[in-house]
Amino acid sequence: MKLYCLSGHPTLPCNVLKFKSTTIMLDCGLDTTSVLNFLPLPLVHSPRLSKLPGWIPKDGTMNLEKRELLDLSTIDVILISNYHCMMALPYITEHTGFTGTVYATEPTLQIGRLLMEELVNFMERVPKAQSATSWKNKDMQRMLPGPLKDAVDVWTWKRCYGMQEVNSALSRVQLVGYSQKVELFGAVQVSPLSSGYSLGSSNWIIQSHHEKVAYVSGSSLLTTHPQPMDQSSLKNSDVLILTGLTQMPTANPDGMLGEFCSNLAMTIRAGGNVLVPCYSSGVIYDLLECLYQFIDSANLGTTPFYFISPVANSSLEFSQIFAEWLCHNKQSKVYLPEPPFPHAELIQTNKLKHYPSIHGDFSSDFRQPCVVFTGHPSLRFGDVVHFMELWGKSGLNTIIFTEPDFSYLDALAPYQPLAMKCVYCPIDTRLNFHQVAKLLKEVQPLHVVCPEQYTQPPMTQSHRSDLMLELQPPPMPYRRCSVLNLPFRRRYERVYILPELAQSLVPTEVKPGVSIATVSAVLHSKDNKHTLQPPPVPPTKKRKRVMEEPPVAPKPLLSGAVPLEAFLATLQKHGITEVKVEETADGHILHLQAEDTLIQLEEDGTHIVCDNNEPLRTTLRDLVLRFLQKL
C-alpha cells in the first residue's frame, strides 16, 4: 500500500492511495496563494495601478521538461471531502486522460460548482489585453524580483479554467450520502462520514474485508451549522490519514466572532464602512447568523448589509434547502416550518441585500455607512478590488479579514499606503491540535499519517510544543512529492466456497473449537472476488483392451507440532540415547551421534537427514508421525 503526496498545502490536500489494485485520489485542492504575487484586477480603470512601472525581461526562452510523480490517467476514483478541496478538479479530469469517477455529497457538488463559477466569472469579466508566459522560464525566473524569484515550480502554474471545463468535470461526479457504501471493482468499499466542518463535508472510510484506512480531512467538533462529526466509525483503523487541521491554532473562533462584531459596530457608529472579503459559502453563514443576533443590541438596525457575488443568491438559497445536511437544531426548524438560517429573515426585512455585481441594481440601492461581504479574500480579483480603491483612502473605514487562507499583510501590499483600518479576525472551525489528540486517543488507529508541518511547531512559534502532534508511535510525516509505503501488509484475503463443494468437506477437530478440512478445488477470481469451485471432472475415454488405473488418493496432510521433550523420551525408548539438541531461530536440530543422523524440528516442517540407512529413516518418520494428526 502506497501513498503519493501531490500537495504541499496541508489544508488543501491532494494525495493518491494505491490499495488492493485500486488507485484512489483523496481530494484535489487548489492552492491559490500564488495570486498574491500578482497585481489586483480592477473592474474599472485604476490610474494608480496603471502607473506602476513594468518589468522588461531579457531575450531568450527555453522549453521546460515535464515532471510527473504519478500518471494521473491511472486514477480510478477521486474522493472529495469538502467543496474547498475540489477546486482543482477540472485540471485533473480534463487534461490528464482521467476516465474514472468522482464521489462527493450533494452539497459539496452544488456549492463547489458555485465557487468554481464565481472564480471563472471573476477572471473572465476582466480580460487581459496581453498575456505573458516567458517569465515562467527557469533562467528568466532567476532575474525576477522576490518573491517570484523564490517561488517553487512556477512553470506548473496554470491559467484559470472556463465554464465548459467546469461543467465537463462536474458531470463525472456521482452523488453519495453519509454512511453509504460504494464498492470499487469488488476490491474495496468507500463510505463518507460527516466531518462537521461545512455543508456536506466528509471524512472517508476505505476498507477491504481485513484492512481499514480512514481519511480525515477538514473536520470540526464545534457546534456550527453542519451535521456533527461522526467519530465512532473511525475506530479500529489500521491507518488514519490526517489533513486539514486549523490554520489558526491559537485563535478561538468564538473570540474571533466577538471581535468581528465589536469592530464592525465601532466602525459603523463612527460613520465608516466595513468591508469583509470572504468566500460566497461557509463562514459567511455563521457571520450573518451572529450579526442577526447582534444587530438590535448594537443599534445597527438601520445599517444596510450587502452580499455581492455572482453566486450570492444561489449560495443563500442552497443553505436553506439542504436541511438533511444540517445540525439537528436547524433540521428541526424545517418542520415548524421556519428557515434553518436567520439570514432569510434579514433578506425579508431588507436588512441584507444580495447582488451579482456592483453594476445594475446595486448602484441605485447603495447607501453608506454599510457593511459589504464580497470576494475574493486574496484581494486580487472580484468586486473587493473596487471597494479597496473606493474606501482605502479614508481612516473611517475598516476591512475585516475572516478567512485564514491568505496572509492579510501580503493581500494588502498592492494597496499601500492605506488609510483604512485593518482588523484580522481569522475564523477557522477545523480541529486544533488539542482536539486531534483527544480524537486519536478515542479512535486509536494503529498508524497515523500526516503532513510534515503537523510534526513540528510553527516557525514563528518554535517554543510551542503544544502546536504539533505528539503521538506514540510517532506519526508518519509526508511532504510534497513524497511517496510513503504505509506500514502494514495485507495478510488475508476472503475466499468464498460453493455450497456443493462445502457439502463434501469432512472437518477434523485439531483442538477444542478448531476444525480443519482438506479441499481440492479450482480457485476462480473475477472482479477481485475469489471463489472455490469443484474441480472439473475429466472426460472418460473408452479404450479397448486397456485396464483403467485406479485413481491415486492424495497424500494426507499433517497438522500439529512435535513436542521436544516427549519426542526425546520416545527416541530413548527405541534405543536412541546419544542425542545432541541445538536450538535455532526456527526450532531445534537433533543430532543422533551414534546413527550420524539429523532431525530438524521447525514450526512448519520436520526434516530427517539420514544417508544410506532407509530402515532407520522409516522408523524415525513413524515416530514423528505419532505426534501429528492426519487430515
All domains of the chain in start order, with CATH: 2-245+432-485 (3.60.15.10), 253-424 (3.40.50.10890), 558-630 (3.30.310)
The span from the CA of 484 to the CA of 448, in Å, is 12
Higher pLDDT, 64 or 577: 577
Residue 143 confidence (pLDDT): 64
Looking at the predicted structure, is the pLDDT value of residue 42 above 80?
A: yes
User: How high is the pLDDT of residue 156?
Assistant: 64
What is the structure's pLDDT at 298? 81
Report pLDDT digits (tens) over 496-541: 999 988 888 888 887 788 888 888 889 998 888 889 998 888 776 6
Whole-model pTM?
0.82
116-133 tens-digit pLDDT: 999 999 988 876 655 666
Task: Say if residue 137's pLDDT is above 70.
Answer: no
Grid cell listed for 369: 455607512
Residue 101 buriedness (CB in 10 A; 0-12 / 13-18 / 19+): middle
Considering only CA atoms, give the Rg of the chain. Answer: 34
For residues 543 and 252, give the distance between their C-alpha atoms in angstroms, rounded to a whole number: 90
Whose CA is closest to 524, among 536, 516, 533?
533
Q: What is the pLDDT of residue 338?
A: 83
Note the pLDDT of residue 180. Answer: 95
Q: Is the per-residue pLDDT at 577 higher than 90?
A: no
CA distance 501 to 517: 12
DSSP symbol at 226: B
Q: What stretches of 315-392 adopt beta strand conformation (E)? A: 352-355, 371-374
Instruction: Report the chain's mean pLDDT, rounded to a whole number.
Output: 86
Among 262-271, 458-467, 583-592, 598-607, the range of highest mean pLDDT? 262-271
pLDDT digits 0-9 by tens, 182-193: 999 988 999 999
Pseudo-torsion of CA 91, 93, 96, 98, nearest 10°?
160
- Give the DSSP H or E segment for 191: strand 188-194
For residue 305, what are the CA distances in angstroms to 254, 272, 345, 347, 471? 22, 13, 13, 10, 46
Q: Which one, of 413, 439, 411, lies nearest residue 426 by Cα?
A: 411
| Contact in structure between 531 and 521 (CB atoms under 8 Å) | no
**Residues 88-99: what's their mean pLDDT?**
91
User: Residue 59: which pLDDT band, with cuts at 50, 70 and 90?
Assistant: very low
